[in-house]
Amino acid sequence: MNPHIAIAGGGASGLLLATALIDAGAAVTIVEPRETLGAGVAYSTACPLHLLNAPASNMSAIHGEPTHLLRWLAERGENSDGTRFIQRSLYGIYLRSLADDTARTAGSRLRHVRSTVSDVVLTEDGVLVDAGSETFAADALIVAVGNAEPAPWPRVDADALGSHRYFQSAWADGAMVPRDPAETVVVLGTGLTAIDAVLGLRDNGHAGPIVMVSRRGLLPHEHRVFDSPPPAAPEAANVRDLIKALRLEARRPSSTRGWRGAIDALRAQTNARWTSLELDDQRRFVRHVLPYWNVHRHRAAPQVAKAVTELIAAGTLRMVTGRTGEIRVTPEALHVSVRRTGQTETDVIAAGRVINCSGPENDVTKLPNPLIRRLLERGYLVAHPLQIGAVVDLDGALVAADGTPSRRLYAIGPVRFGTLIETTAIPEIREQAQSLAVTLTETATLKEASG
């Protein structure tokens, strides 16, 4: 008998897994409060300036069909050039189309419960899933909750938090819709989400100054596409040797691709190299290297990089490297205190709005998600020692507090962060989906779990 799999979350991760499971013959119940499946937060934006951070040729949602997205674009009469960086809204339509196709293929084998999983209990022959509006049994539950909101920004006073000027996330309602087109906006962070906020503000008519603040002042680099990347230093035995090899490759006079090509060539090996490191080496990487790795690895589309460069050159967007102090509200504005790096004095920026774009909270012990909290309480899930993501095994099974990998509870996507270092982008998620679908539909695996 084919298994019945429950998926907590119906964004891109949940949809890709559901599609792979349906293709493998399983029955699937997705618990997702949104009306439509697939888009999630990442691909629900309507802003035409928000583009994918990777070319279309890399963004097929289907394992083993690298041209699936390109064929879909061609069928719609869209430009199907694989080097094109398409709008995220268009990619969201693509995922919703995939959801429709999957539903037609599945028939009664796919069910969408518009709710949120609040609890799960292990039973003798599976799991009992509490989805709020109903409780149902399944053979396994997959945690596919996607990226969390940013961690709360420190030293924001309660009145500021409760004001209409402070936004905990760039995706909060109204965050990118200025009340006054000329108001000063402070964006906390300088990563890809911060760039989304800047472009979203401009698209919504904002014309005033924007100040981006972060401790290191690192902007994502521009993504460039090459026919084939150079070798990825297979002889490097550790992160230090690897970084040295990448630097040498980037500096070679004959290298036309530089560090971008070298980084891209490393991608298929990154997780294997990460898992081979000792915990102390991983900790050093997260503390000292990860911010620099991210701006090189997770790059912006060329059009996006060009737009940001032009805004900086025009003086309407400026970067401040430093630490914020107190953020407090006044009748006219939010006052953001900033101590620039290398200075002892504190500046105060009067902002019409402040948007927290510091990136997702990765410490699972701090997430408000009710399912994550219950899994932690029951000992079904444990936080990674680096306070990023959860501990999972190579199949994505949650490792319980007693150190035993589950055969009923799994994770896909960002929840695997920590155990993996590459786990948030579509290419990695589609591979996880395919592998997990095989694992979950193998009769021997389920028999072992029942025994």
pLDDT tens column, 68-124: 999 999 999 999 999 999 999 999 999 999 999 999 999 999 999 999 999 999 998
Separation CA 164–CA 136 (nearest Å): 40
- Rounded Cα distance, 229 and 250, in Å: 12
Evaluate if residue 140 carries a pLDDT over 70: yes
The DSSP bridge partners found for residue 318 are 211
**Which CATH number fits the domain 4-148+361-450, given the four candidates 3.40.50.150, 3.10.450.50, 3.40.50.1820, 3.50.50.60?**
3.50.50.60
DSSP 413: G
Secondary structure (3-state) at 372: helix
Does domain 158-220+300-356 correspond to CATH entry 3.20.20.70?
no
Question: CATH 3.50.50.60 occupies which residues in the chain?
Answer: 4-148+361-450, 158-220+300-356
Residue position matching structure tokens 């409760």: 162
Average pLDDT over residues 14-40: 95
61 exposure class (CB count in 10 Å sphere: 0-12, 13-18, 19+)? buried
Which of 435, 429, 408, 416 has the alpha carbon at shortest distance from 6? 408
Strand pairing class (317-329; 140-143): unpaired
Residue/partner pairs of 250-255 with CB below 8 Å, 24 or more apart: 255/230
> Tens digit of pLDDT for each residue in 327-356?
999 999 999 999 999 888 899 999 999 999
**Closest by Cα among 25, 284, 23, 29 to 135:** 29
The reported pLDDT for the residue numbered 262 is 55
pLDDT category at 443 given cuts 50, 70, 90 is low
pLDDT of the residue at 228: 43
Lowest model confidence (mean pLDDT) among 78-92, 128-142, 213-227, 338-352 = 213-227
Beta strands in 114-157 (DSSP E): 119-123, 126-130, 135-138, 140-143
Sheet containing 135-138: which strands, arranged edge to edge?
A: 119-123, 126-130, 135-138
pLDDT digits (tens, 9 = 90+) for 398-412: 999 999 999 999 999
Q: pLDDT-based confidence at 229, cuts 50/70/90?
A: very low
The whole-model pTM stands at 0.88
User: How many angstroms separate the CA atoms of 209 and 48, rounded?
Assistant: 21
Contacts of 359 (CB under 8 A, 6+ apart): 150, 189, 191, 193
The Cα 11–Cα 34 span in angstroms is: 9
Percent of the chain exceeding pLDDT 70 equals 86
pLDDT score, position 233: 47
